[in-house]
Amino acid sequence: MAECQETMLVPIGKVDPMVITWLKEDLPKILSIPVTKSPPLPLNPRHFFKERNQYLADGLLADLTTIIHDGNTLSLGITGADIYTAGLNFVFGIATTGSALISTFRLRPETYGMSPNPGLYRWRILTEAVHELGHAIGLPHCEYPGCVMFFSNSITDTDRKGPEFCFRCRRRIEWMGKLREG
Ligand SMILES: [Zn+2]
Ligand SMILES: [Zn+2]
């Protein structure tokens, strides 16, 4: 994969426009590449599993990879639907080379019976977006619990790590040369 020139946000189904605004503002502070937005993709009912009341993350990610036309664009799909993948009850997101997907469903404080908290919600969205984009450029999980690339088994892990890369992951990104330094 060549050096990435931009991150393209792709709403999948109905997504709160505020979420897109937040990501446009927050992502460049961490990843130093411009953020653009594409028209939404439909939430394809073919990926819905009624008995789980969830969408298969891999299906949504595959839909996303069909609209990307060049190797210089990182795409980030955003859905409000609850998503899962084989072997896991749910995922906050998944990624493949060049493409990432996050779900806001389990990032909302209301999902855990808490009061709405836009600041916390925004922080979690940024954290999961950076994590999956990190995978999309080739980063593996990191064992340091304060690093964004730490695996989140629950929302507690997400809240602990936050959106910043540790120095080792940051250095790995520099070695890979996949992000233009801003
Ligand atoms: Zn991960
Ligand atoms: Zn790290």
Place of tokens 């996303």: 64
Of the candidates 42, 34, 35, the residue with the CA atom closest to the CA atom of residue 11: 42
Q: Which ligand is nearest to the CA of 157?
A: 1
At 20, list the tokens: 């897109």
Domain ranges of the chain: 6-139
Residue 69's pLDDT is what? 65
Q: Say if residues 102 and 78 touch (Cβ distance below 8 Å).
A: yes
What was the pLDDT predicted at 107?
A: 98
Distance from Cα 108 to the centre of ligand 1, integer Å: 19
Q: Which residue has the tokens 């503002």?
A: 25
The sheet carrying 54-56 orders its strands as: 48-49, 54-56, 83-84
Active site residue 132: yes
**At residue 36, what is the residue type?**
T
Whole-number Å distance, alpha carbon 45 to ligand 2 midpoint, is 36
Choice among 6, 132, 143, 164 that is catalytic: 132
Which residue's structure tokens are 């664009």? Answer: 73
| Reported pTM | 0.95
In the prediction, which pLDDT does 177 show?
80
Which ligand lies nearest to the CA atom of residue 152 in the structure? 1
Class of domain 6-139: alpha beta
Q: Which of 90, 88, 63, 97 is nearest to 78 (CA)?
A: 63
Q: Put residue 138 in one of left, alpha, beta given phi > 0 → left and psi -120 to 50 → alpha.
A: left
Per-residue model confidence (pLDDT) at position 179? 72
Determine the distance separating the centroid of ligand 2 and the alpha carbon of 158, expressed in angstroms.
14
Expressed in angstroms and rounded, the spacing between residue 35 Cα and the centre of ligand 2 is 23
pLDDT of amino acid 154: 95
- At 1 the pLDDT is 52
Which pLDDT score, from 0 to 100, does residue 141 have? 98
Sign of the C-alpha dihedral computed for residues 165, 18, 75 and 7 taken in this order: negative
**Could you state, in chain order, the average pLDDT of each consecutive group of 10 residues for the chain (182 residues)?**
82 96 97 92 96 97 83 92 96 96 98 96 98 96 97 96 97 83 49
Looking at residue 181, what is its pLDDT? 53
CA–chain centroid gap for 101, Å, is 5
The one-letter amino acid code at 47 reads H
